[in-house]
């Protein structure tokens, strides 16, 4: 099969992100958190290093959620019935999202704390 041109592959990939936004509640919440982070990056005038850290963990959570959803969809496709092995695969896949979410909270607290404590010291 001929490979599609780069712009078509890119369009398909962005359609994937759009489908996640439309259908997946967890992704919608994580995307909302990403938008809040974008606002805080500008409002608190984060340094470039802190901005990169926040963007890396935010995109990390979103990308991990997409992979987790893809694994869940494949599981449901190959085995729609109850199967302990499918439960195991789905659980460890969800575990990846949880670990990434924990990292994002740790990074978020460490980064934002500097700015909030600096702001509070003015009083």
Ligand X SMILES: Nc1ncnc2c1ncn2[C@@H]1O[C@H](COP(=O)(O)OP(=O)(O)OP(=O)(O)O)[C@@H](O)[C@H]1O
* Residues that bind ligand X in the complex, under the rule CB under 6 A: 26, 68, 72, 79, 82-83, 86-87, 90-91, 94
Please say which residue, 86 or 103, places its beta carbon nearer to ligand X.
Answer: 86
- How far apart are CB 97 and ligand X at their closest, in Å? 6
Please say which residue, 44 or 86, places its beta carbon nearer to ligand X.
Answer: 86
Contact 111, 50 (CB under 8 A): yes
Please say which residue, 5 or 80, places its beta carbon nearer to ligand X.
Answer: 80
User: How many residues belong to the chain?
Assistant: 123
Which contacts of 78-86 are long-range, i.e. CB under 8 A and separated by 24 or more positions?
Answer: none
Tokens of 18: 């759009």
């Amino acid at each position: 099969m001929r490979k599609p041109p780069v712009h078509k592959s890119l369009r398909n990939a962005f359609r994937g992100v759009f489908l996640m936004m439309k259908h997946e509640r967890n992704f919608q919440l994580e995307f909302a958190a990403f938008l809040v982070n974008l606002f805080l990056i500008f409002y608190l005038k984060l340094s470039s290093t802190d901005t990169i850290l926040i963007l890396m963990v935010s995109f990390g959570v979103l990308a991990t959620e997409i992979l987790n959803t893809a694994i869940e969809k494949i599981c449901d496709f190959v085995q729609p019935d109850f199967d302990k092995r499918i439960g195991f695969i789905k659980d460890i896949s969800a575990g990846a999202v949880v670990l990434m979410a924990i990292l994002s909270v740790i990074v978020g607290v460490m980064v934002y704390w500097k700015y909030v404590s600096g702001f509070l010291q003015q009083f």
